[in-house]
Amino acid sequence: MDVLEVSDPEAGPWLDRQAPPLHLLIGDSIARDSGLRSRLPPDEFLSLARGGATWKSTARDLDDIIARWTTKAAEEGRRLGDAVIWLTGNDVYSRLTLLSSFSPETLEETGRLAADVCRRLLEKGRVTVLGPLPRMSGEISGSRWETTASYHLERRLKHSLPPAVRLVPLGRQLLRRAGGRYCVVQECATSFRHDGVHLTAEGYARVADALQLPIWISLTAAFK
C-alpha cells in the first residue's frame, strides 16, 4: 500500500480536502432568517444573506462576498464548501408597493446576472440555487402559481443558469391546491407574517418539506 508522505507534492492538496467545509449562504432577509444549517457536522455555513438583496446587488458585491468567504475559511482552517443562493423575489416584487413588478426585460436581465454569479461561484465549488417564493402581499387572491411573479422568475432561472447549477423549485410549497391547481388563497396566509412577505415558522416548515431540497440542508426557523 502506498503511503503519502507529508513532504510529497500531493500531500498539500490531499490535506486540504480533508479539512471540514465552510459553505456559503447568499440571500435576502428570508434566507437570513431561515436558520439554514448543514445536517452534517462539522460542516459550517458562513451566512452573508442580507435584507433587500437581489441578483443585481449580489452580482455587484460578488468580489467582496467571495473574498470574505475565502478569508473566513482560511482563518478557520476549512476548505471552501458549497455555495447556496436563496434570493426569494426582490427582483420581481416592489419594495415600495410590495406588489409584483417585472417585465420581460427585467426577467432577461435578472437571468443574465444570475448566470454570471453562478459561473463565478462554480469556480469555487458546487452551487445550489433555492427558488423564489410567492408573496401574499404581491399577488391577487385566487391567482394561479403560473401567473405569479415568482413563477416567472423561477422559469427564467431554469432556462438561464448553467447546467452544473442545482435549482430547487420551492414556490408551490407556500400555495394550496384549488381546482387541481396551486393557487394563492386565504389559507396561505398562515405561512406569512403580517407583511405578507416574510415567513412564519409554518412557512419555513412548508419550504423545508420540499422533496427536492437537499437532504443535508436544514431550516431551523421551521422549528421555532
The answer to whether residue 141 sits within a structural domain is: yes
The mean pLDDT of 124-151, rounded to a whole number, is: 97
The answer to whether residue 1 sits within a structural domain is: no
The answer to whether residue 76 sits within a structural domain is: yes
The confidence score (pLDDT) of residue 10 equals: 56
Kindly report, residue by residue over 97-111, the tens digit of the pLDDT: 989 999 999 999 999
Per the prediction, the chain carries an average pLDDT of 94
Q: Who wins on pLDDT, 3 or 138?
A: 138
The answer to whether residue 146 sits within a structural domain is: yes
The answer to whether residue 45 sits within a structural domain is: yes
Confidence class of residue 5 from pLDDT cuts 50, 70 and 90?
low
Q: Who wins on pLDDT, 83 or 4?
A: 83
pLDDT of 1 above 50? no
Residue 130 domain boundaries: 11-223
Q: What is the DSSP string of the chain?
A: -----TTSTTHHHHHHHHSPEEEEEEE-HHHHTTTEEESSTT-EEEE---TT--HHHHHHHHHHHHHHHHHHHHHTT-EEEEEEEE--STTTB-TTT-SB---HHHHHHHHHHHHHHHHHHHTTS-EEEEPP---TTTS-TT-BGGGSHHHHHHHHHHHHS-TTSEEE--GGGG-EEETTEEE--GGGGGGB-TTSSSB-HHHHHHHHT-TTS-TTEEEGGGG-
Q: How many domains does the chain have?
A: 1
Kindly report, residue by residue over 6-31, the tens digit of the pLDDT: 555 554 554 566 799 999 999 999 99
The answer to whether residue 5 sits within a structural domain is: no
Q: What is the DSSP string of 33-89?
A: TTTEEESSTT-EEEE---TT--HHHHHHHHHHHHHHHHHHHHHTT-EEEEEEEE--S
Question: In whole angstroms, what is the distance from residue 198 CA to residue 23 CA?
Answer: 24
Kindly report, residue by residue over 166-202, the tens digit of the pLDDT: 999 999 999 999 988 999 999 999 999 999 999 999 9
The answer to whether residue 201 sits within a structural domain is: yes
Kindly report, residue by residue over 54-104, the tens digit of the pLDDT: 999 999 999 999 999 999 999 999 999 999 999 999 999 998 898 999 999
CATH number of the domain where residue 91 is located: 3.40.50.1110
Cell numbers found for residue 17: 480536502
pLDDT of 41 above 70? yes
The confidence score (pLDDT) of residue 11 equals: 47
Cell numbers found for residue 102: 417585472
The answer to whether residue 2 sits within a structural domain is: no
